Each structure stands twice: as C-alpha cells, then as structure tokens.
Amino acid sequence: MQGKALEWAYEIEGKDFRNAGKVSSKVKEILKELGFDPAFVRGVAIASYEAEMNVVCHAEKGTLHFAILPEALKIVVEDQGPGIPDIALAMQEGYSTAPAEIREMGFGAGMGLPNMKKNTDELNIASTVGKGTVVEMVIRPPLPRE
C-alpha cells in the first residue's frame, strides 16, 4: 500500500435475502487475498455484513463503497430507504423495528449498529427520513509487528 487508494463499489438489493451477504463476502475475500491479519479481516467482515444486512432488512437498495487507504479501510454504505428518525435510539442495544419475518431468519435483535461500533474505529451515520441513510465506517489495521 504505497499511498495508493484501492476502491470498490457493490450494489445491495433490499429484501433480497438469498443474496444478502454476497457483498461482504467479496470484501472479506479481497482483504484475505491481500494478506491482512485474519482477526482484522474478521472484524471488517462482521461490520460490513451488519451494514449490508441493514440495507437488505430496512431499506430499498444501496451501494457499499469499500476503499483501502494508506492508513485505514473505509466502508461507506449508502441506501435509499426510510431513513432513521432517531439515530441515538437506533444505536441502543436491543432497539429494532425489524418485522417478524426478519426475526425468524435470526436477525432483528437490535445488535447490528452496536456491533458495527464494536468492530470499527469510527462509525458515522447520517440519515434523512424518507430518503435514506449513509453509514461510514473506518477501520485501522493493527500495526505490523517488528
């Protein structure tokens, strides 16, 4: 990584549960191939998947932008959807508006946003009700050991 940015963008379809996770799988593959530390890759994959699932579960469609910057990874997930009226409330563990069919699939426990926070160094959310949401995550790789 000589100061050159590597960037990718992937579309996410709302309510497409069969394909949900494909994008984060791709992100994980790229990082693995580039030889990043497995524990780090795992954390990124979890954060990415939670964000991807939120688009699938709560929005109509979205795009995941993924960039490897000189000092960090950046994932920006923007969607067209209902937006989040109260972001502080949505961030609380256990808060969820997920309907029954999503809970039956094992999601909608209201742990996604807190888990994204846990697995990232920075998490910023901007949302406009009726338009959509932008979730930005920055994750810094562990320093290489001497």
Partner 1 sequence: MQFWEVKGILEAEVLWEPVDLQLEIEIAQAADLMSDVLSQSMGGELLLTGLVNSQVIRTAEMVDIKAIAFVHGKRPDEKTIELARIKGIPLLTTRLFLFEACARLAMRGLTGSSGTIW
Ligand X SMILES: Nc1ncnc2c1ncn2[C@@H]1O[C@H](COP(=O)(O)OP(=O)(O)O)[C@@H](O)[C@H]1O
Using CB under 6 A as the criterion, which residues of the chain lie in contact with ligand X when the complex forms? 54-55, 57-59, 79, 81-84, 90, 95-98, 107-113, 133
**By CB under 8 A, residue 38 contacts partner 1:** yes
Q: How far apart are CA 113 and CA 2, in angstroms?
A: 32
For residue 20 the two structure tokens come to 């949900």
**Total residues binding partner 1 (CB under 8 A):** 26
Picked from partner 1, Mg ion, ligand X, none, the partner binding residue 97 (CB below 5 to 8 A depending on kind) is ligand X
Which has the closest alpha carbon to 46: 68, 69, 65, 27? 27
**Parallel, antiparallel, or unpaired: how do β-strands 122-128 and 6-13 relate?**
unpaired
Which has the closest alpha carbon to 56: 10, 8, 5, 122? 10
**By CB under 5 A, residue 112 contacts Mg ion:** yes
Binding site for partner 1 (CB under 8 A): 17-18, 20-21, 24-25, 28, 38-39, 42, 45-46, 48-50, 105-112, 114-115, 118
